[in-house]
Structure 1
Amino acid sequence: MTTRTKVSTPELYGWPLIAAANALEMLPFVANKIARDGAMLDLRDCNDIDEIPTTLALPENYILNNNKATSAPTAIPKLQEETKSRSHYLSFWDYHDAYMHKKTTPTQVAKNLIAAVEAHQKYHWIRSYSKEQILKQAEASTLRYELGQPLSQLDGVFIPVKEELDVVGLETKFGTSFINDGKPATENATLVQRLMNAGVIILGHTVMNELGWDTFTVNPATGMPANPFDISSSCGGSSGGSAGVVASGIVPVAIGCDGGGSVRIPASFCGLYGLKTTTGRVSSVGGRPVDPTVSVSGPIAATADDMALTYAVMSGVDEKDPRTRFQPVMSLENYTLTHTLEGMTIGITKTFNDLVEEPAIMDQMTHFMRYFESLGAKIVEIDIPDLAMPTSSLFALKCSTLLHATPANAANSALTPAS
């Protein structure tokens, strides 16, 4: 059974935090002591790790010999409207319906969204975008709808991506003030191009923290994305801008990247759906992951349908990324079969969950477990070796930045034609 030693690390704010940071830089023995007291060096004492780290569960040759996913699927996935998600947010369904019934056009919506982005720049959700490129993509989508030939259900839907993914014409700055400065991307990341191939209009780059190393998206170079539900609070991170712009209602879905929680954390902070995809499901070509063995791209969405369809469209084999060859073809065939979970086993790490100090979190966990059991799932307790290895930072940083601004009532009105 895994055991875990309770670790207590200092919690600092303001000037004490600045003084401690300076001490860490100037006095190496201080950094070493804090790291040791915080159990950050325990991994060095773990002498029984003798396996070579791998991201594959089975030998490569076995997977390739038995895998049918030799190429990307030719048909763009689609969902059935009869079982669509219900939400107070606008979904891709609303965009698609409005375009199909000539209530508005992607070009008109593009103008509304550009105005919404400009009006809400003080909330630091979108970092960079090109009006010219947005309108160009929207005009092409408008023409397709006029001809009755949309490329997919996502045609004309606006999706921004985290700024560690290449978008032609934009600088992939990775949250910094210097990377790729003056050097815009000349090719789209594979997942960006796949979205565009389905008619998606790329809205631009969303704000992230520097190099992805943070859980609150505190970024002095860009400003911290404000949580639309409480603008004095964080959206989480590191894909904070992606979550903020979806939670505000400006777009129904955005793309984030996740290594240690950078999609899941902001999704939870903003009450959204977020998915850390399986390694190899989505191509990493055109991205800038700091930790490529665990970092993947995934959607943050207003509804389960937006998340699932976007995920399906951006997934698939990419010959430039060998890891994508180890995954089966993405399918939404049984997506709506949610009335039963018979035959599914769900593992619960009780020893880890017992460390959760906020009762409300475990109340929700228990609620979900009981619900899944009622649908036929089997809940079992599991033990993960070495789970006790510390993963926390040296300091628990709480952000108390007060943003002097009015509430972010953004743009569920984007589909309304301008007067």
Structure 2
Amino acid sequence: MVPHLVTALNGPLLDLEKRMLDKTTEIERWFRLAWAESTPPFYSSVDVRNAGFKLAPVDTNLFPGGFNNLAPEMMPLAIQAAMSAVEKICPDAKSMVLIPERHTRNTFYLTNVARLASILKQTGLNVRLGSVSDEITEPTRFELPDGQSLLLEPLVRRGNRVGVEGLDPCAVLLNNDLSAGVPPILQNLDGQVLLPPLHAGWATRRKSAHFAAYNRVVDSFAQMLEIDPWLINPYFAHRNQLNFHERVGEEDLAAAVDEVLGKTREKYAQYGISEQPYVVVKADAGTYGMGIMTVKDASEVVGLNRKQRNKMSVVKEGLQVSDVIIQEGVHTFESIDDAVAEPVVYMIDRYVVGGFYRVHTGRGRDENLNAPGMHFVPLAFESPCNTPDCSDRPDAAVNRFYAYGVIARLAALAASHELETVPNVELAA
């Protein structure tokens, strides 16, 4: 279920793509055996960067919020994958409550919710939207930019189950990443499937734990594929107990930056890469492109000015930043209409169901594109094809996106391993 996607882009990442094409049979068997031992996340999205010499994930989201950016042609794949996911969790499920983010004024986000609800309804589920927002005290209808409307209802609790007025659902799907913590209404549920699990939310999840799991997955995959794991895996380090406002931990952070830059320089030298290495320092928990800085020298994280300290101190929902991941930066050589672009691959269950390009006209090849001013370009079908074409060039669209799908599936597999261990962290909001 890897779609044939239209793109005018091409680039030099041919050796790795060719190896993937040559070993498609082995790759698919490897994934089949791996998934036999792990439960996929219900859904996920993976930010992928293609540097021309390296192809790697830089972030994995377990509460994807951009289904409205997928091309309409992708919907049959998404519905089929959602059917597979629903059958696993509750084969006789009749109903589901979808819990969105609290920010009800973001109509673009709500358009994502409408698209996601539509996918789920076409699997045969009665889907209603239960909000944990304090602003939703009664059923409230929102008009969307595309002419649709959406009805949000207050989430209610009865005993150890949640639902909406008149509906006690078989399953509850979170599209709320719990950055502000787990609302009491969702704690200690019993006899009701909650997806993703509470510890998938940013109240407890850490990016460093995800990439540690990704390390283990990639080591096994790279051995099978007979490649250097670094070609599909960014180096990273983790530091905690920082206080950006008080400048506590700056020297330790600088040492970590120097460590990751040093390892990256060695690889660049090994492969004859002339690009300048860089790292991305970002909050170990959180999303929305907040709490991120690009660094090319360790000295840049010492003596940050007030603006920089404020930027790094707080992320979504006012969450204070004390833990960071220092990740090897992966350049992107891709562009659309002269604007820098990176693919975002969407998955439901273990299947790739589409994606889009995140594009930013004001950012460079070595900068974070998840920032104000970005826009999205859907990836559409060129023909009804869901397998790579081994007779075509490695950089042909169908084959390039097969490679992107492989990377996304590796990240989703890492997420499944990550979620198998429940962290001992307080969940309360």
TM value normalised by structure 1: 0.28
Higher strand share: 2
TM value normalised by structure 2: 0.28
Which structure is larger by alpha-carbon Rg, 1 or 2?
A: 1
